[in-house]
Amino acid sequence: MSSPLFTPLALRGLTLPNRIVVSPMCQYSAEEGSANDWHLLHLGSLAVGGAGLLMIEATAVTAEGRITHGCLGLYSDANEAALAHVIAACRRFGNVPLGIQLAHAGRKASATRPWQGIRPLAAAEGAWPTLAPSALPLDAGWPSPQAASSADLDRVTDAFVRATERVERLGLDLLELHCAHGYLLHEFLSPIANHRGDAYGGSRENRMRFPLRVIAAVRKAWPNGKPLGIRISGTDWLEGGFTVEDAIAFVHAAKAEGCDYVCVSSGGIVAKAPIPTAPGYQLELAEHVRRETGIAVRAVGLVAAPRQAERVIVSGQADMVAMARAFLDDPHWVWHAAEALGARAAMPLQYERARADLWPGATLVRPLREAAE
Ligand SMILES: Cc1cc2nc3c(=O)[nH]c(=O)nc-3n(C[C@H](O)[C@H](O)[C@H](O)COP(=O)(O)O)c2cc1C
């Protein structure tokens, strides 16, 4: 039996061994933007778990673009050296393709770590000024960001390019730009956060201008053979907000700038929106974007079961499935999905003793555990 979830996918010069992606997940554990041994443990364990692609968390292109004091960055030589150490371990023991998500948090920057309760940092906690398309706070109680000047836009574009050069020096396989969840590039796209009166605000074409400028600049700095993707919020789920029609127009334009795939998420432009969360609630958006644009699509959001993920691929809703919390719950999700779907996934030699098909006569751990319940 062959499983469509476990078939390879080519994105430019990169071939993913299967369609399962470890979604980018902030760990809020970096120091001054630099990765440490937590990242080595976290990414290291996922790098040997058999996924088709492992995404490194949202990584800020400037210090002010971090969400929290614990967010990863790629804006200094120290950041680059620290991440090189983590990547070397992932490469030594695993062979999963490695991608990274570059981001700027916009008006959502200067916040506490989620486990401290999501709120803006106080001055005594080291708050910093934030930047956004317009001086509109995220919510009551949040500070007003500075409306980006044209010099700010030049500086941020340049920071995305410098970070891209670092990503290339680190030898990563794939680069993604965070245009979702209410962070800076999404803030430009959404009429909720973008009230500018210049060439970067107003009409849909104007709201797309800055994210497209960043995409074009990054594409130029990123090797031609390597895939570039974007993550978008397919809708703000708000009256007067960014819609799936806006998303389709943006993806068409991003594709024309050399984007190879889009990950369709949703929401995040305001602190509270009526999001209809339910299993696979973003899949329809993914399918819609895929049908209208023909770009490779990664679906995400409340997908956690192997057969559910398989259906996404078989039904043509998406080309890849990303999961976040399922991997926190079970870093060996891919091995268990392979077992359920009759497929094979990469596994380190050190762990093969758990599999009877590789070690004939070995006691299978899971049936043994289930029988002993
Ligand atoms: C701990 C955690 C950290 C996250 N960090 C990021 C991130 O860095 N970038 C991003 O685009 N999404 C981030 N997300 C969102 C996930 O990538 C994913 O889109 C979301 O959790 C829905 O997928 P799931 O239902 O499989 O968890 C994060 C989610 C979690 C749970």
Q: pLDDT by residue (tens digit) across 51-86?
A: 999 999 999 999 999 999 999 999 999 999 999 999
| 101 in contact with ligand 1, CB cutoff 6 A | yes
The residue whose CA is least distant from atom 11 of ligand 1 is: 24
* 159-206 pLDDT, tens digit each: 999 999 999 999 999 999 999 999 999 999 999 999 999 999 999 999
Cβ(22) – ligand 1 distance below 6 Å: no
| Chain-centroid distance, C-alpha 330 | 19
DSSP 265: E
What is the chain's Cα-based Rg? 20
Q: What is the mean pLDDT of the chain?
A: 96
**Predicted local confidence at residue 34, as pLDDT:** 98
Instruction: Please give the pLDDT value at position 48.
Output: 97
C-alpha distances in Å from residue 3, one per residue of 132, 309, 310, 345, 353:
44, 11, 8, 11, 23
**192-206, 321-335, 358-372: the lowest-pLDDT one:** 358-372
Residues 337-341, mean pLDDT to the nearest whole number: 93
The rounded Å distance from CA 181 to ligand 1 centre is 10
Residue 121 neighbours by CB under 8 Å, 6+ apart: 68, 69, 110, 111, 112, 127, 128
From the list 75, 183, 200, 261, the catalytic residue is 183
pLDDT band at 356, cuts 50/70/90?
Answer: low
Q: Which residues of 32-42 are buried (b: 16+ CB within 10 A; e: fewer)?
A: ebbbeeebbeb
- Is the shortest distance between the CB of 301 and ligand 1 below 6 Å? yes
Ligand 1 binding pocket includes 26 (Cβ within 6 Å): yes
Contacts of residue 7, Cβ cutoff 8 Å, sequence gap at least 6 = 18, 19
Strand-pair partners of 22: 54, 323
pLDDT at 340 over 70: yes
User: Does residue 156 have its Cβ closer than 6 Å to ligand 1?
Assistant: no
* pLDDT tens by residue, 231-288: 999 999 999 999 999 999 999 999 999 999 999 999 999 999 999 999 999 999 999 9
Q: Which atom of ligand 1 is nearest to the CA of 326?
A: 26
Sign of CA dihedral 357, 360, 364, 367: positive
Is 70 exceeded by the pLDDT of residue 217? yes
Residue 285 contacts residue 266 (beta carbons within 8 Å): yes
Q: Among all chains, which residue has been given the structure tokens 């809708």?
A: 235
SS3 365: helix
Report CA(87)–ligand 1 centroid distance (Å).
Answer: 20
* Distance between CA atoms of residues 261 and 290, nearest Å: 10
| Beta carbons of 291 and 278 less than 8 angstroms apart | no
Q: Are 247 and 270 in contact (CB under 8 A)?
A: no
Residue-level pLDDT at 370? 79
* Index of the ligand 1 atom closest to the CA of residue 302: 25
Mean pLDDT of 2-16: 97
Residue-level pLDDT at 2: 87
pLDDT tens track for 113-132:
999 998 999 999 999 999 99
What pLDDT score was predicted for residue 368? 74
Closest ligand 1 atom, residue 300 Cα: 23
**What is the separation of C-alpha 205 from the centre of its chain, rounded to a whole number of angstroms?**
24
pLDDT at 301: 97
Specify the pLDDT at position 73.
98
Closest to 166 in 3D by CA, of 36, 59, 70, 50:
59
Q: Judge whether 183 counts as a catalytic residue.
A: yes
> Which of residues 351 and 175 earns the better pLDDT score?
175
